[in-house]
Amino acid sequence: MKPKVCHFPALLALTSDDWGVSHARQTEILLDAGVKFIQFRSKSLSTENFLMEARLAAKSAKQKGVNLVINDDPWIATESGADGVHLGMTDTHPDQARRLLAEGAMIGRTVHSLAEAHLVASEDCDYVGLGPYRRSQTKRELNPVLEQAQIQEILAVLHPLPVYLIGGLELADFDLIGEIGVTGLAVCSALSKRDAFGVNLEAFVERAQAFQTMEVLS
Supply the pLDDT for residue 145: 94
pLDDT(107) > 60: yes
> Out of 79-88, 106-115, 209-218, which region has the weakest mean confidence (pLDDT)?
209-218
Distance between CA 159 and CA 153 in Å, rounded?
A: 10
pLDDT(86) > 80: yes
Q: Over pLDDT 90: what percentage of the chain?
A: 86
Split at pLDDT 50, 70, 90, the class of 218 is: very low
pLDDT(2) > 70: no
| Reported pTM | 0.93
Domains and CATH numbers, the chain: 11-217 (3.20.20.70)
pLDDT in tens, 114-140: 999 999 999 999 999 999 999 876 655
pLDDT(27) > 50: yes
Split at pLDDT 50, 70, 90, the class of 73 is: very high
Supply the pLDDT for residue 194: 76
